[in-house]
Amino acid sequence: MAVKTVLAALGMAAGKVIVKKATESLLGNLNQLYTYGISNFTKIRNQDVRFSISYLIRIKIPGTSKFLLVRGHRIKNQLQPVGGVYKKVNGFSEFREWGYKEDSSNKGIRTDDVSLNDLRFRVQGKYTLDVIKWFESAVGREYTFEREFEEELIDTGILDAEIFRKKSLEKVSKVMKVFNYSTFHQCYEVLIYDIVEFHPTAEQSQELKQLLDRARNEGDEYMLVDVTEIERLLVMENEEQIARIGEHTKYLINEK
């Protein structure tokens, strides 16, 4: 009887996995169909669509509801997750047939030495699905997450270089926002965020917990913020706002 019960439970579990995968496949196909339809049969077809494709690293302080955020490079007055835009390898020449244009100050962010080869660019709307499929292939682009971790936390001295020399980083989910109109950039956008989980070792966990003793002050280059502060997108101390939090930070706590 016990064996039958176990087998039945395994059968149910396997069934749930199959249904889950089938549902994910169906939703993926529906999303592709939607994207194809909008990009080919609306005014967006021949318009420039701006892409910004990045990864966000979820660094949670073990045993707490707090997350490590850093001050943004581009938007200096906001806190946001560690991470940034993926880099293209070997330039964008293969994108020319898609009407590729580099990001600019009037419809994006001005390209400089730091942002060179960033996956921020514009192409004609009808090629949107081609770009998404190219990104999913992971060919010709950066596909690891260590670079921004190093630049934002190790090079700045926030975390100890030796203790955090080895890093366990796992992509756990993806957020894709297709064809939202950006008033700021004056164009339609496709925003893709890979959500990456940092898994600390026991020693790294202890180092992260030590950050809890640090006072928070306006203008800090990094802060530990509670999940409730991310929900409100602001940080308060003594009933005064000392920082605001970038809206995309909500993806760390599975909020849209």
Domain with 195, as residue range(s), is 45-253
Q: Are residues 146 and 35 in the same domain?
A: no
Its pTM stands at 0.85
pLDDT in tens, 107-137: 555 555 556 899 999 999 999 999 999 999 9
Q: Are residues 19 and 83 in the same domain?
A: no
Q: Are residues 72 and 170 in the same domain?
A: yes
pLDDT at residue 159 in the model: 98
Q: Are residues 49 and 28 in the same domain?
A: no
Q: Are residues 61 and 171 in the same domain?
A: yes
Q: Are residues 217 and 126 in the same domain?
A: yes
Q: Are residues 130 and 22 in the same domain?
A: no
Beta strands per DSSP E along 72-215: 78-85, 101-102, 120-124, 169-182, 187-198
Q: Are residues 134 and 223 in the same domain?
A: yes
- Judged by average pLDDT, the poorest of 22-26, 40-44, 76-80 is 22-26
Q: Are residues 1 and 76 in the same domain?
A: no
Is 38's pLDDT higher than 70?
yes
Looking up tokens 């600019």 gives 104
Q: Are residues 130 and 10 in the same domain?
A: no
Number of domains in the chain: 2
Q: Are residues 168 and 204 in the same domain?
A: yes
For residues 120 and 76, give the distance between their C-alpha atoms in angstroms, rounded to a whole number.
Answer: 19
Q: Are residues 13 and 138 in the same domain?
A: no
169, 145 contact by CB (below 8 A): yes
